[in-house]
Every structure is written in C-alpha cells, then in structure tokens.
Structure 1
C-alpha cells in the first residue's frame, strides 16, 4: 500500500492573508508544517500543492517537494485531486498547511483505518478531538462534528452541534481537525461532484461528501495542536514552539 501526504496551500486567506508565509520562530508556517509531516516518517512521499509561486519557491528552495496547481480550485481536496490523478498511489493524507504541530500519533491512527479495512469499506477518514471550552464550542472558526455509534460523521458545522437544549444529558463536543485520508479513487470522485448548498453555506468542503451520501469515518485523537487561522493563533504558536 503506497501512502503519500499532500499539503494544499493557498497564499490568499480571507481571515489572515498570507498566513502560511508568516514567520514561526525562524521559518514560515508552511515550511514548518511540511517539515513536521516529513519528520513523521509515515509516508512514501510528501508534497505541498499550491497555486502560489511564493509558496512553491519557499518549499523547493528549502529542499522540499512542491507541485503547482494547473487550475483554480474551490477547496484543498480539489487541488489534491488534480495533483494525484496521474500518481501511482493508494492512499493520500491531506494535511492542512496551517497546522505546523502535525503529529505522528494522530496520522498513524488515520493510516491504521485503511490498513485494517480488508473489505475496503472506508473511502475517507478524518480526525476529531474532544473539546470542553464553551468559547471554543461557540467559536465559528472551530468546526464541530457529530457522529453515529460507529463513529461515522453525521454532520459538520461552525455552529455548536448538538444544540444544548438540555445540558444535563452529558453530550460530548468534538472539534473536527482538518486532516483527511482518502483512497485515491474517492478523492478523484469528490472533485467531479458539484458543490451543493450545505457546503456553500458553511464553507466546509467535507459537507459535499455527506450531501452525496458518502460516509466519513471519524477517528478520535487526544492531540489538540494549534491551527493558525488568526494573528492571535500565530502568537500562541510562537509561544508553544519555544
């Protein structure tokens, strides 16, 4: 089984422009993320796939591997689908470019889903982490997920889900970590499906799968990490890196 990682990377970002090129204690955020992914030693290859000459050169000039997108894309998964179409691979792990604290333990859990899936029933898997802080639960930048008894995703939202009408039932809230593991065929199929209303409303690409009756296997991890969505996140990352 050949497993690679792809890190989709856009230079433009609505909440924090050029965030991937911001300095994180001596190196850019995207380079830190690339190096952390390579350092796990879990993959046959690791690539940054981007529409930006700046990001492309940042990776290549520092000894890494990068691929330039040939088309405009609405999501990171679409960008990856174009990049892997002609590659001889089985599984591709989508690591977000704004997660320089990407860890080996969580990625290993995702890979294990496919290694133990003898019947090839899982096309897509992703990570979630239990959260308790009310501010984080209510933060629209924190994507929440609810799952069924078999740990397949029921829905993703920027809103708190489920709504706590009764706070005494002991419901657990989970944050979706934007790391995906795809079978190659699944991500190629994804890129051919037009966006529907839920994805367009929430601006969450994973909803496209659910809208087309696809299943997403969720894997719980204890590793929170720091996703850099705002300048404040970057400052927290700098402190954590020290």
Structure 2
C-alpha cells in the first residue's frame, strides 16, 4: 500500500483543519510544594518565578495570558508586574481543574475556544515550545495537544520518573497521535522512545469534558492523569520538540533558572 501524502507538520494530507480562533493561555500556580515551598514567588533575575512564566507565555503570542492562582499573594505579584491573574479555590486536585475554574470565572460566555496550559514552574521555557504545544489543535479531530522529546540518555529509557509517550509517528514527522503514556519502557523493538512533556493545549469543550470525568483505572495505576482522556476516547496528539524545558522543582533547579535568565529583562 502506498504511504499517505503528508502535510509539512507530519499530518496526513487532507485531514480536516479546524484551528481554534480565540485561544487563551492559562498558568496554574500554587504556593504549596513539597520540595520547594513558595516557589511561584522565588526571585529569578529580579522577578518572581510566576512573573517570568507569564512573560514567556506572553512572548509566545498565542493569545491573552492569565494566571490561575491558589493564593492572593500570587495574584498580587502578577498584577504588580502588569499581568492578569484570578484567585481560584486552593483545594483543586490538579492544574487542569484550576485552569478550568479560572476560565469559567473570566469567560463565562465561552468566547475562548481553546486553552493552553503552561505550567507555573517553567520560567525559561522557549516561546517555540509553547507554540508547538498549541499547533496540533489545528486538526479538527484533536481534542488535546501536548509535547514529546526524543529520549537521548540511555538511563532515561528505564527511569519510571520519565514518562514515555507512545506515539504513532512516522519517521520524519513532527506530530503524532498518542496511543498511550507510561512509566515503563515502551514501545518495545527498534526505534526512538519519547519523553512526555506535561504542557497541554485543550479545545474548550475537551477541557470541560475532561475535568468532569472520573479517574480511570489505568490513570490510577500509572499515576498519569492524561490516561483518563484516552480511556474516554479523547484524541491526544503530541508535537515533537528538541529539548525538555527546565521545570523548577528543587533549589538546584532554581539556581539553574537564575543562571539562564541572569541579565534578561
């Protein structure tokens, strides 16, 4: 059988396009952190980390940027820098729940048709990476978009802390359908493995459906929230990027971020 003709982004030619017309970027943030308490307000190059994350999201140019904060001091820090933030319930079980509450608070009429969820601990994330997470939503069949990076270090192939995205991805393609996510080494056989990056973009209807679903059996077994969407028949596509963005989870990560952003406005 002849292979399908593919568009430049790796999607089969002829796939219906339905890109969101009015997306918003929402950054969930909370002060509680086991390894680095209060990290949203940690100083990085003269600004709180959450402000640096807001700046990176603004630079991506996808749409307006909102911080969904669990505490009023985060709201105050963002607003002092000229950004927009909204106070949400402190007891949300996940960032997805927090961004959905924020979306309903600031846009009850449903004007924004897609949401990009940028984590609040990615102060050095590249703007191209944020844009890449949004790009798979250009195809009508995709409910949720995310990112993956080819695994280069041998030890990461078997590390359960490195979540693997099992993608249907032809050689040379940069966007593929996610069939599963796992902490195990998968798939087997020759070929690349992909490190999943937890930066998501949702069609609004998909986000609303997702947060209303009960946890799935495999989600609870693997401790991976995205498996809930797959179990419900939702489609997740992943864009392949070249590097894992630095997530600030420890004091050492914080020092790395400070070094990267030293001298940057």
Q: TM-score, normalised by structure 2?
A: 0.80
Q: How does 1:47-196 map to 2 (within 5 A)?
A: 47-70=66-89, 72-85=91-104, 86=108, 87-115=110-138, 117=139, 120-149=140-169, 151-162=176-187, 169-196=189-216
Give the superposition deviation at 1:24. Answer: 1.8
2:251 & 2:156 partners in 1: Cα distance? 17
1:206 & 1:37 partners in 2: Cα distance? 22
1:232 & 1:135 partners in 2: Cα distance? 21
Note the alpha carbon deviations across 1:95-133, whole angstroms, 9 max, x for none. 011111222222333333233x2xx21111101111211
Relative distance call for 1:183 and 1:139 in structure 2 (3 A) is same
Note the alpha carbon deviations across 1:115-152, whole angstroms, 9 max, x for none. 3x2xx211111011112113444444432211124722
Between Structure 1 and Structure 2, whose CA radius of gyration is higher? 2
1:170 & 1:233 partners in 2: Cα distance? 33
The count of residues paired between Structure 1 and Structure 2 equals 233
Report the equivalent of 1:199: 219
Match of 1:23 among 24, 43, 52: 43
Report the equivalent of 2:6: none
